[in-house]
Amino acid sequence: MSVKTKKSFDITKHTGLLASLIAIVCGLLIAFIILMLTNPAKGVDAFMTIITGGLRMGGFKNIGTLLFFATPILCTGVAMCLAFQAGVFNIGGPGQFSIGAFVAIVTSLYVSKDLPAPLSWMIPVLAAMVAGALWALIPGILRAYFNVNIVISTVMFNYIEMYYILHWISLTCYDALKGQTRPVPANCKLPQLFMPALTQNKASDIGILIAIIAAIIVWVILEKTKLGYELKACGKNPDATRYAGIKSKRTILISILISGALCGLGGALYHLSWSGVYITFKLGSAPEGFTGIAVACLANNNPIGAIFGASFLAYLTVGGNYMQIFGFQKEIVSVITSIIIYFSAFSLFMRHGIERLLLKGKTKDANELEEENT
């Protein structure tokens, strides 16, 4: 009897994971079909490169690249986890991410260049978090006090950011020759510590560690504090929480502030890294912000799960970067990401379906057992 209860406990616990796996499999399958339809001759090779390329093509060095790609999307993913749990659909990830990146670059160039070591990179990171939070705060205020649809307002802010960031870059840190932002001073980049030795990649730094710490902190906030309880309650049923005496407006503001700060952190960690990325002077929004949504979906809005979700999507991105060899575009990874989001959207439905299937199997087993006994 005790075995039985343990079994059912396990099933309900893991349906979320199972649903995410189904979403991943569906995403990969549809990508495979698209690849085969567009170019049957090279489709299989290209697909195998997406799946195994992260390890096969570049060897161990790719682990460093993987962590580098995982860092920003882990930050935005955790940001989305928190916002979604609070029922705030923060689609403004790209905007908050780019604002964070821009502010980090500018503060490193103008403020912290001559400061001693820990301050020189901490100040830009903190400034980026503040900037991201402030950029997210306005849609939050509009949502809390004026009932403006948060999806629309955050998207509008993405577009405003898209146009204004080019203007601001051209005023402050534009490198006209290369058509991108000026490089960040070396002493403002994130410390590398033991990371290059660990990953065998010269460009590795502690960005991923900071992102993981952020994820753990958010997990603690959500699961172990009163604030986290209020956020989650607000996401589940805003009316009930209001009757229970939780200030829902304050909760919305806090959740979007943290969410924006995390997106800003992602932008800072990405652009203060040793891999040398720049904001190119081209109209467009940062894809890392949207990938964060996929990370949150894969992780079922659990910040710890986001670590694995981000690693997986970064792994696909590393493989996707080899697509050019086969005459395909790396956008296929975004296609996979979007399909994963799509299937995650009805993960609740899938989970009920899985539970029903499993329970059906179980009752069958029980019936058979009974028959055997008699």
Partner 1 sequence: MGQLFFVSRYFMFFFIPLLVVAVSAMFSERSGIIHMALEAVMIWSCMWGVLCLQWLDGIVVGQLRLIIALLFSGVMGIILTMLLGVASINLNANQTIVAQALNTFSPAFCIFFVRFLQTGSEHINIRNDFMINKIPLLSDIPIIGEMFFTKIYITNFIGIAIFIISAIVINKTRFGLRMCACGENPHAAESLGVNVQKYRYAALVIAGFIGGMGGLMYIIPVSTTFSQTVNGYGFLAMSVLIFGQWRFKSLIGAAAFFALCMTISNSYSGIPFLAKLGFPEAFYKSLPFMLTLLALVFISKNDKAPKASGQPYDKGRR
Interacting residue ranges for partner 1, rule: CB under 8 A: 34, 38-39, 89, 91, 142, 146-149, 151-153, 155-157, 159-160, 162-164, 166-167, 290, 293-294, 297, 327-329, 331-332, 334-335, 337-339, 341-342, 344-346, 348-349
CB of 97 or CB of 290, closer to partner 1 = 290
Using DSSP, state whether 115 is helix, strand or coil.
Answer: coil
We find the least distance from the C-beta atom of residue 68 to partner 1, in angstroms, to be: 21
Would you say 195 or 318 has its CB closer to partner 1?
318
Instruction: Compare residues 67 and 150 and give the one whose CB is closer to partner 1.
Output: 150
Q: Give min distance, CB of 361 to partner 1, in A.
A: 22
**Shortest reach from residue 141's CB to partner 1, in Å:** 10
Q: Measured from the CB of residue 322, what is the shortest distance to partner 1 in angstroms?
A: 15
Nearer to partner 1 by C-beta: 111 or 151? Answer: 151
| Residue 120: CB atoms within 10 Å | 21
Query: Do the Cβ atoms of 46 and 328 come closer than 8 Å?
Result: yes
Shorter beta-carbon distance to partner 1: residue 60 or 349: 349
CB of 14 to partner 1, least distance (A): 21
Q: What single string gives the DSSP state of each residue in 134-161?
A: HHHHHHHHHHHHH---HHHHHHHHHHHH
Consecutive H or E run containing 320: helix 303-320
Give me the residues paired with residue 174 across strands: 181
Long-range CB contacts for residues 330-335, cutoff 8 Å, separation at least 24: 332/31, 332/34, 332/35, 332/46, 332/50, 333/50, 334/287, 335/30, 335/31, 335/34
Helix locations, the chain, DSSP H: 2-38, 40-56, 61-85, 93-110, 117-146, 150-172, 195-199, 207-224, 226-236, 238-243, 248-271, 287-298, 303-320, 331-345, 347-373
Closest separation in Å from C-beta 105 to partner 1: 18
Over its C-alpha atoms, the chain yields an Rg (Å, rounded) of 22
For 14, what's the count of Cα atoms within 13 Å in the CB-facing half-sphere? 9
Q: Which two tokens stand for residue 71?
A: 């860092």
Residue corresponding to tokens 């840190």: 173
Q: Which is nearer to partner 1, 204 or 344 (CB)?
A: 344
Place of tokens 């952190």: 265
Least separation in angstroms between residue 323's CB and partner 1 is 9
175 beta partners? 180
Q: Which is nearer to partner 1, 129 or 339 (CB)?
A: 339
Q: How far, in Å, CA of 191 to CA of 25, rounded?
A: 37
Nearer to partner 1, 176 or 186 (CB): 176
Nearest distance, CB of residue 83 and partner 1, angstroms: 12
- CB of 57 or CB of 166, closer to partner 1: 166
d(CA 314, CA 63): 10
State the minimum distance, in angstroms, from the CB of residue 349 to partner 1.
5
> Residue 347 is which amino acid?
S
- How many CB atoms are located within 10 Å of the residue 22 CB? 17
> Toward partner 1, which CB reaches closer, 9 or 349?
349
What is d(CA 37, CA 233) in angstroms, rounded to the nearest whole number? 46
CB of 80 to partner 1, least distance (A): 10
